[in-house]
Structure 1
């Protein structure tokens, strides 16, 4: 079910490529105006921007690992759009650091980077956008991009799995606290999906094994995940606030 065209003001973090780009396109096709955030890939973010339907979109750059950077991103997005109605927390880092093969210095650095971006960046941007939504008095939506790895485990990327689990928990806490203000908060937990970053793995020796994780014998497209994000941000999805929606093609079933 496609949400109605509403012309909402949407900030998507980490939107230079991959899922972020697909999410921006989904909202733009819905008639919304989108602030395309990037950390360092301005050229790729501009490709995202130029691919969007409609008008009124723009770029917003900034480092979400820095609290001041997050504040600058939120402020710039609100100025560009005239406010914020929807926040999609997609920005994340995911660097391999298997314990048995990683030095202590590398281990500490990996954890600090993951926590700074995946958890604190999400937390800070959510705070700022939610406070603005409260001030606007018209409600809003926050959708977090989590991960199947928060439940299944990430042996080579433990900080990624742990921070995504924390993002799920953060979303549920915010769902309870923000509901009186008409703000719904939900998360998606995708399994493997096809993006530019993982294309070499899917096309390589491990591709068949990755696809075999799902009984459908394939991985998701970024567009499939983006469609779920769009619905969770829709007016019809208010009762899904607090949900963590599994999007993994039955590759992992939670109990």
Structure 2
């Protein structure tokens, strides 16, 4: 039995990841940023017992530390951190460089980097310190994005934040390996989550599905399965890896 902190686990990929760990007998701290009710639903639906809900704004360094402290107290420790919480591309945060005004451009960049990069940075530090103090091995898995490689012209701050997160993970893989802590990332393409339902059911949905030669988009369960593997002792030797999960919709060379 492992103790697992999953950030942004109120819905979507985070909920699927929390469920996948709980199905394997692990105890999970379900983190939420704002929607406690949704996090409570995730908690109620998890199989097994001993799970908990923890809340807080990961962009705040002190709040990030308190999130980890609360998860440690509720679970009795942490062996696995999944950095999933993020500010995702949406209609209200499009920032095309040729169209957006400077003040909005600056605000979106600062906000996305604070949540998508610095939040995981603060959480990783706190969990790493916890594991090192215990002299215990552990696993940190970052949820990156295909957009880190292919570019996000409508959401450049998102693409940059995910590229930086994945690079940060590789730096931590080297730094934490002497302590028996592995650090990996997954880079999903388009995933069928609740926030994407309107796009997938609209006329543009066909073009989104056509990005992959499989003719579909990914599922939260597929991402969760990869995360569970990367957080296993069998995957320790994969530390530093970035696993593409995009149905061959974008191939890195």
Q: Shared topology, TM-score over 0.5?
A: yes
- Equivalent-residue separation in structure 2 for 1:25 and 1:102 (angstroms): 39
Residue equivalent to 1:237: 235
- Residue in 2 aligned with 1:169? 167
What's the CA shift for 1:135?
Answer: 1.1
Question: What's the CA shift string for 1:89-113, capped at 9, x where partnerless?
Answer: 0010023222222111111110010
Consecutive unaligned residues of structure 1, counting only runs of 5 or more, are 1-6
User: Are 2:82 and 1:84 aligned?
Assistant: no
CA deviations on 1:126-185 (whole Å, 9 max, x unpaired) are 000011011111210000000000000001110000000000100000000100110000
* 1:21-60 pair list within 5 angstroms: 21-60=15-54
**1:232-253 Cα deviation digits (max 9, x unpaired):** 0001000110000000000000
1:200 correspondence with 2:194? no
Runs of 4+ in 1 over 6 A off after TM superposition: none
Which runs of structure 2 are paired with 1:46-125 in the superposition (5 Å)? Answer: 46-94=40-88, 95-125=93-123
Question: In the aligned structure 2, how far is the partner of 1:60 from the partner of 1:130?
Answer: 18
Q: Which runs of 5+ in 2 are unaligned?
A: none
SS of residue matched to 1:68: helix
Q: How does 1:132-211 map to 2 (within 5 A)?
A: 132-211=130-209
Give the 3-state SS of the residue equivalent to 1:19 in structure 2.
helix
Q: Distance in 1 between matches of 2:235 and 2:73?
A: 27
For 1:249, what is the secondary structure of its paired residue?
coil
- Distance in 1, matches of 2:125 and 2:94, equals 29
1:15 to 9, 13, 17: 9
The Cα RMSD (Å) is: 0.6
1:203 CA drift (Å) = 0.5
Shift of 1:33: 0.2
Partner of 2:216: 218
Whole-Å Cα distance in 2 between the matches of residues 18 and 33 of structure 1? 19
What's the secondary structure of 1:56's corresponding residue? coil
Cα distance between partner residues in 1 of 2:110 and 2:15: 26
SS in 2 for 1:155: coil
Q: 1:246 and 2:244 equivalent?
A: yes
TM-score by length of 1: 0.97
Question: For 1:158 and 1:126, how far apart are their aligned partners in 2?
Answer: 24
Rounded to whole Å, the distance in 1 between the matches of 2:244 and 2:251 is 9
- Quote the Cα distance in structure 1 between the aligned partners of 2:25 and 2:131: 20
